[in-house]
Amino acid sequence: MNEAKKVRITRKPNYAAGVKAVVIALKNIFDRMPKGKSIKVLNKLNKKEGLDCPGCAWPDPDHRSKLGEYCENGVKAIAEEAMDARATPDFFAKHSIAELQEKSDYWLGQQGRLTHPMVVRPGGTHYEQISWGEANAIIGENLNALDNPNDAAFYTSGRTSNEAAFLYQLFVRMYGTNNLPDCSNMCHESSGVALSKTVGIGKGSVTLDDLYKSDLILIFGQNPATNHPRMLSSLEKAKANGAKVVSINPLKEIGLVKFKNPQNIKGVVGGGTTISDLYLQVRINEDVALLKAVMIKLYERAKTDSSILDEDFIANKTAGYTAFKADLDQQNLTDLITRTGLLEQEIDALVDLLATRKNTIACWGMGLTQHVNGVDNIQEVVNLLLMKGSIGKSGAGTCPVRGHSNVQGDRTMGIAERPSKALLNKISENFGFTPPQEDGYSVVDVIKAMHEDKVKVFIGMGGNFLSASPDTHYTAEALNKCNLTAHISTKLNRSHLTHGKTALILPSMGRTDKYVKNGKSQFVSVENSMGVVHTTQGLLHPPSEFVESEPVIVANIAKATLTQDKVDWDFLIEDYSNIRDLIESTIEGFENYNERLKKPLGFELPNGARTGNFTTPNKKANFTINKLSENHCQVDEYLMMTTRSHDQFNTTIYGLDDRYRGVYNGRMVVFMNQEDVKEKGLKQGDLITLYNNYDNIERMVKDFAVVPYDIPKGCLATYFPEANPLVPLGLHAHSSHTPASKSVKVKIKLN
């Protein structure tokens, strides 16, 4: 039967988490791992000096519950990595690559951990086992055969530890390029660009403690019940301390409505906690219009109440205010309100809260970053915070909620295609070579460069480049054109199956695996979404003796590639504290790194925006003027977002349900406003085709089942990665180049 026909659509539940989440989490792990092993891992998960959850980047609280500080999706992440199933050389001998391409992402993941280095040589139909020595030699030969180091690209996903990331970027720069695209390019790059420009640091400014002290928390474009579940416990605590919460999101995400915390009695037998005091279902990509309307109204009120805006802060700590205010004065309030799709009373309710409450925190996720105007969205949020003086003090500030568990740390370690001059100078000083100075390729650039035969070797440190990237068919062609594609991976994924002329799979240890060198257990370190650096240590036997730890893999590739070596790679991987010594001497904020990691809770990195010392060139926080979004749809066009279901981690599919949205047993669905469904003469479960025509290229996905849903008129929602073939490569945020995968224009037709 057609996959989309098997989808079951039910009523949404009216709260998130609760006891059911615990039951589902345990079933998930016990189905994949023996009970003893499961309990051993869960006992160490997110404990001080234990195993850092490989799920999202939400920080661990300082005071941790005895019941365990993890959530349903953290347990799923563990089960997915530590499962007993194995994808061995026998498995690859049995299934050709062509056959594996026909399987679903879910099926691929269920085949288990990779156990051996594998290769496909030109013209080959199956992956075959290869030794590490030979695999590294293939990489070295291919890299050294290129005319220019810029003809190679080195991708990174966000689970990689600080130690591995530091070695990787060092190797890549010694080899001679800044082509270090990473998953951040598709994720919070817009936040990094906007925050660096406005407040001088590309990271958020708040700590967990600030959340607990805040008066008002705004949550833009984020679905924490699925993507950062323990954020709901933090919000519950903030609310108990008196904060109000406002959600701004086209979809009514159930976890932002009500949360039952399975760790407390109220969550188990009581009614749970109402999270959002106000829920604004703004139209897709109209956040700038909403923010401008709100700010105009705040000014209006401030005329009679001078306590509403922080005039002192504006005068002493900011720049660009007059021009910003002048631009705001020219906006047409009625037009702005119409664009949002909200009632004026709803906007007034938000203005009431902003006018009466002082310390404000703005949290945001992919709902703001993944638009053509992603950078403007965030800059407009900053404008609002600056008007309120809500940055650089306790209980207030910016909170971009990061995705992968160490994506922020990887950037700190220098995984960046546009590195700072300070980093390049430090590398040159410490390692005695001049690193490349010109910018490298981001994700979008590198896909184009591979397609244009400019980049011939692609190496991936984790991740699933093909499925995560926009314009799937174009990206597949780009990868196919490479001489070599090589992926350092824990699990089989689609990027292994759409490959270059030669392809390698290099099996890597993950977070849960124990790495012992010379009889000593090694740990690594990571940085969470709030800039706290701490250790994480695996505890399970790796899936096979041929699986290597990431720093070791990088060191061996470096040795096989670099001829004039200025680094003693063997010494570095002998004991990871040797790598940390190099990090300490190269990266700002890591003084006494090894020593400070001994503190059970780790340490906080310097953050000027947190303390009100803005490190922008003018030493001020900058107001900016941002244009309204351009979403002009034709009559029969819709604006589509691609989002995550409750049963996936990015391209890793844990299961086929999205229980908080009432969808079971399938992912080929399109959420659509009830009236739109009726107007189109459709009904629930009908299978439709979605298509568009950017740059005169027809892009299409078929067989998506219609789900009538609480979403503004003219808006659609589908899941990533299934809808990625519809996201054109050229549709990305200006200056951050983040694919605009949350505002894609599409038309629909009945199959």
Ligand X SMILES: Nc1nc2c(c(=O)[nH]1)N[C@H]1C(S)=C(S)[C@@H](COP(=O)(O)OP(=O)(O)OC[C@H]3O[C@@H](n4cnc5c(=O)[nH]c(N)nc54)[C@H](O)[C@@H]3O)O[C@H]1N2
Q: How far is the CB of 326 from ligand X (least distance, A)?
A: 27
Contact string 273-312 vs ligand X (x = CB under 6 A): ---------x-xx-x-------------------------
Cβ distance to ligand X smaller for residue 324 or 465: 465
Question: Near ligand SF4 by CB under 6 A, which window of 50-58, 150-158, 624-632, 706-714?
Answer: 50-58
58 binds, among ligand X, Mo ion, ligand SF4, none (CB under 5 to 8 A by kind): ligand SF4
Taking CB under 6 A as the criterion, the residue among 116, 230, 448, 534 binding ligand SF4 is: 230
475 binds, among Mo ion, ligand X, ligand SF4, none (CB under 5 to 8 A by kind): none
Query: Which helix or strand (DSSP H or E) is residue 95 part of?
Result: none
Tell me if 510 contacts ligand X by CB under 6 A. Answer: yes
Q: How far is the CB of 639 from ligand X (least distance, A)?
A: 8
- C-alpha pair distances (Å), 15 with each of 46, 255, 272, 390, 655: 25, 6, 8, 31, 20
DSSP one-letter string for 280-342:
E-PPTT-HHHHHHHHHHHHHHHHTT-TTSS-HHHHHHHEE-HHHHHHHHHTS-HHHHHHHHT-
697: CB partners within 8 A, 6+ apart: 728
Taking CB under 6 A as the criterion, the residue among 641, 677, 729, 746 binding ligand X is: 641
Query: Is the sign of the CA dihedral 261, 278, 366, 603 positive or negative?
Result: negative
Are 460 and 487 in contact, with CB atoms under 8 Å apart? yes
Tell me if 715 contacts ligand SF4 by CB under 6 A. Answer: no
74 binds, among ligand SF4, ligand X, Mo ion, none (CB under 5 to 8 A by kind): ligand SF4
Query: Is the sign of the CA dihedral 703, 705, 710, 713 positive or negative?
Result: positive
Cβ distance to ligand SF4 smaller for residue 79 or 690: 79
DSSP one-letter string for 672-723:
EEHHHHHHTT--TT-EEEEEE-GGG--EEEEEEEEEEES--TTEEEEETTTT
Q: How far is the CB of 58 from ligand SF4 (least distance, A)?
A: 4
161 binds, among ligand X, Mo ion, ligand SF4, none (CB under 5 to 8 A by kind): none
DSSP state, residue 115: -
Contact string 58-87 vs ligand SF4 (x = CB under 6 A): x-----------xx-xx--x----------
489 binds, among Mo ion, ligand X, ligand SF4, none (CB under 5 to 8 A by kind): ligand X
Tell me if 549 contacts ligand SF4 by CB under 6 A. Answer: no
Cα dihedral 542, 546, 551, 557 in deg (nearest 10): -160
71 binds, among ligand SF4, ligand X, Mo ion, none (CB under 5 to 8 A by kind): ligand SF4
Task: Of 525, 649, 640, give the one whose Cα is nearest residue 593.
Answer: 525
Query: Is the sign of the CA dihedral 447, 450, 455, 458 positive or negative?
Result: positive
Window 345 to 404, contacts with Mo ion (CB under 5 A): 403
642 binds, among Mo ion, ligand SF4, ligand X, none (CB under 5 to 8 A by kind): ligand X
What are 713's two structure tokens? 């008129």
Neighbours of 14 (CB within 10 A): 9
Strand arrangement of the beta sheet that strand 532-536 belongs to: 524-527, 532-536, 603-604
Window 374 to 403, contacts with ligand X (CB under 6 A): 403
Contact string 694-733 vs ligand X (x = CB under 6 A): --------------------------x---x--x------
Tell me if 53 contacts ligand SF4 by CB under 6 A. Answer: yes
Window 177 to 236, contacts with Mo ion (CB under 5 A): 187
290 binds, among ligand SF4, Mo ion, ligand X, none (CB under 5 to 8 A by kind): none
421: CB partners within 8 A, 6+ apart: none
Tell me if 462 contacts Mo ion by CB under 5 A. Answer: no
Amino acid in the structure at residue 662: G
3-class secondary structure for 486-498?
Answer: EEEECECCHHHHC
Question: Near ligand X by CB under 6 A, which window of 13-21, 182-190, 579-587, 605-613?
Answer: 182-190
611: CB partners within 8 A, 6+ apart: 392
The C-alpha atoms of residue 128 and residue 92 are separated, in whole angstroms, by: 7
Applying CB under 6 A, which residues contact ligand SF4?
46, 53, 55-56, 58, 70-71, 73-74, 77, 228-230
Interface residues toward ligand X, by CB under 6 A? 55-56, 73, 157-159, 183, 186-187, 220-223, 226-228, 248-251, 253, 282, 284-285, 287, 365-367, 370, 403-404, 461-465, 468, 488-491, 493, 508, 510-511, 550, 641-644, 648-652, 720, 724, 727, 741-742
